A and B are shown apart, each in its own frame.
Chain A
Amino acid sequence: MAEMLRIDNVTQAYGGLTVLHGISFTVAVGEKVGLIGPNGAGKTTALNVISGLLPSVSGRVCLAGQDITKLPVHRRIALGMGRSFQITSLFPELSILHNVLLALLGVQKSSYHMLRSITSFKPVNAAAKELLDSIDLWQARDCLPSEISYGQQRRLELTLALASRPKVLLLDEPSAGLSTEESAGLGKMLRLPTYENVAILLVAHDMDLVFGVADRILVLYYGTIFAEGTAEQIQRNDKVREIYFGSEAYRA
């Protein structure tokens, strides 16, 4: 399969603390890759380097063969990246409808229009209505994000990332705070044929979600890729159990 995303020897440090020690991996077109690891392993940092929020200290990031290491975030998004956040990240002072409209307009030239009302862009507004209908928030479109429930906020968060139809989707803990049922629904959705051609890099603590979605799993441990394989291989890997499931068993 063609390669969609390539992370090549990426190192990242916060001050003197090196968080990523030259990690390398690729994600093929349409491939679903799970990125797991204990807290502080560098998962979110890896996503930030890939999406451009953090400039990497060294190494390269390529999207569909193009070197995007030096590109700012908005250029990477325009090239077909989408990103959701671990901590719900919405526009708190704007209505839910306007949150979605901004998500749809982000990669479009029409977002620079200054003298036409945002509601006069018919196709964008129709798309926003459909997106909001699909997450049952159309009725609440005039509410602020703080006026809807946490589960609804999470759904809105994911919808914002999906609105621009990315080729690569970076999901940071999409199931954080969701019920088991909702999390299962999310997993089922990510495996739908619709997303066949969307490469997904899924960071999650929710093992059911990762094992259900990912074709391949990478285990990040203290900034290095510690193990790599299919769900079964990772589940059978003793060393992974020790660092990951072991600690969880200990906690339980």
Chain B
Amino acid sequence: MSAKRPSGVSSPARRALPTRLGSRVAYFTPAAIILVFLLTLPLFLRTDYVSLFTKIIIFALLAMSLDLVFGYSGLWCFGQAGLFGVAAYTVAILVVKVGITSFWIVAPCAVGVAVITAALFGVLGLRSKEIYFMLITFAFGQLIYVAVYTTSKYTGGSNGLTGISYPDLGFAVHFNERSYYYFTLVAVVIAAILLYKIIKSPFGYSLMGIRDNEIRAKSLGYNTWARRFIAFILSGFFAGVAGVLYVYYRNNIAPSDVGLDYSGLVIMMVIIGGVGTLWGGVVGSAAILFLQYFVSLYTTQRWPLILGCLFIAAVFLAKDGIYPRFTKWWKRVCRYETNGGNGGGQDMRGKPGGDTYQRVATLFRGASRNDAGNGERDEATSEVTSSDG
């Protein structure tokens, strides 16, 4: 999956290039290969690998949902597994304790609970920023962990809840590892497309603006609190979807799945993959879960040790994350971008003196204040319009 960094450093398609088609092909080739692989892998891989890939794409979604707040909104959330966990537990309780099995009732309820939880966290947590926000979300994550641990009447306590079979869609679908993989893949791809649309939208860019310079964003008319709050709720929604997919995948749920370990793991996926890149979460999820799988074949107890070493290595070797490293390397290999970020340098230099400012002024009357729909520019050459109208 390939998309350029949101920082807008480059846009190959917009520049005059001798081989525009070639550059497009080069740009989308890695994404196409990965997509074809994901679509066909159940046809030639053993079921335990199919199961591993199901887990990878579920955690990829969780990591992407975290990146929306962590990378794009600058909110260092340390409780993402809590949001994921409340959705998973809601499904488990409804299916096992209440006896409602219909996927179409259970799943929306679970995602709804995750969204409400995110809203509660947001109202309380968004009073603070950065490290303090991290601490508060850390505490919220622990709160959820302790809550499911101690209310054993409903949640099964430390044993968790078992006996959640594959989702009951209401019509005859025979789920097994392979078909559930496709079910997950479809859900995750739809969610990923939505997330991608969000980060490319005016709302997504306003989040990045608020992250970069909150005072400036406020001074341009952005309600920074409301936007962060919405971002957090959206993140809770996608984390909830991941939680629903996860509990059906595991067929059971235990407190360890919603605790600090998982919150930390997801943050590591985002950091190793690349913060603020969206697809970095996919790469990080794949990298960590692959390694975990193969390490666990030899030694289960040493996994945290190896994970720690991996994290240190990633920080030293690929500071921005694997995904940005890869895209940089790929661009160099394919040469599908012109060198330098400024399109030649000379032509961007402004003429000295007052000319420039006068031209800003001529635009002032034309600049559309109104909504995108009616802000046509045809009056730019007409009379000086009064600006207080």
Contact = CB atoms under 8 A, between A and B. Distances in A.
Interface of A: 4, 29, 51, 53, 64, 72-74, 77-78, 80, 83, 85, 89-95, 97-98, 101-118, 121-124, 126-127, 130-131, 133-137, 139-140, 142-144, 147-149, 151-152, 155, 158-167, 179, 181-182, 184-186, 188-189, 192-198
B377 A130 contact: yes
B84 to A, nearest CB: 22
Contacts of B7: 93-95, 144
A198 B350 contact: no
Contact of B212 (A92, A117, A167): A92
Given A130-B380, A143-B341, A189 B354 contact: yes
B301 interface: no
B183 interface: no
B46 interface: no
A144 B10 CA distance: 10
Interface in B1-54: 6-11, 14
B202 A135 contact: no
B353 A113 contact: no
A97 B209 CA distance: 12
Interface of B: 6-11, 14, 194, 197-198, 200-206, 208-209, 211-213, 215-224, 276, 341-344, 347-377, 380, 384, 386-388
A182 B219 CA distance: 25
A2 B189 CA distance: 57
Contacts of B6: 93
A74 B224 contact: yes
Given A95-B9, A124-B372, A181 B352 contact: yes
A198 B8 CA distance: 33
B350 A142 contact: no
Considering the complex of A and B, which 3 residue pairs feature the smallest CB-CB distances, nearest first? Answer: A185-B354, A95-B8, A106-B220
Contact of B208 (A94, A136, A198): A94
A60 to B, nearest CB: 21
Given A77-B219, A116-B197, 12 more contacts: A53-B218, A73-B219, A74-B223, A85-B219, A98-B209, A110-B373, A115-B198, A127-B363, A135-B359, A139-B347, A142-B343, A184-B354
26 contacts: A72-B218, A74-B224, A89-B215, A92-B212, A93-B211, A94-B8, A109-B371, A113-B203, A114-B197, A114-B204, A118-B201, A118-B202, A124-B375, A134-B362, A137-B350, A142-B8, A142-B9, A144-B7, A144-B9, A152-B350, A158-B357, A161-B219, A185-B353, A193-B384, A194-B384, A195-B387
Contacts of A188: 354, 357-358
Contact of A91 (B204, B212, B368, B380): B212
B9 A89 contact: no
B360 A189 contact: yes
A223 B365 CA distance: 36
Contacts of B375: 123-124, 127
B14 A142 contact: yes
A114 B367 contact: no
Contact of B387 (A102, A112, A159, A197): A197
B372 A123 contact: yes
Contact of A102 (B10, B220, B357): B220
A144 B341 contact: yes
Given A124-B375, A140-B343, A159-B360, A164 B221 contact: yes
A110 B348 CA distance: 30
A97 B343 CA distance: 14
A179 B221 CA distance: 30
A166 B367 CA distance: 11
Contacts of A101: 202, 205
Given A160-B220, A189-B361, A140 B348 contact: yes
A167 B385 CA distance: 12
Contacts of B347: 139
A112 B203 contact: yes
A109 B216 CA distance: 18
A107 B356 contact: no
A127 B366 contact: yes
B91 to A, nearest CB: 26
Contacts of A144: 7-9, 341
Given A74-B218, A90-B213, A162-B364, A181 B354 contact: yes
B292 to A, nearest CB: 32
B213 A143 contact: no
Contact of A194 (B222, B364, B371): B364
B368 A127 contact: yes
A134 B341 contact: no
A134 B356 contact: yes
A222 to B, nearest CB: 26
Contacts of B205: 94, 98, 101-102, 118
A149 to B, nearest CB: 8
Of A72, A97, A111, A135, the most chain B CB neighbours within 10 A belong to A111
Contact of A186 (B10, B357, B366): B357
Nearest to B225: A72
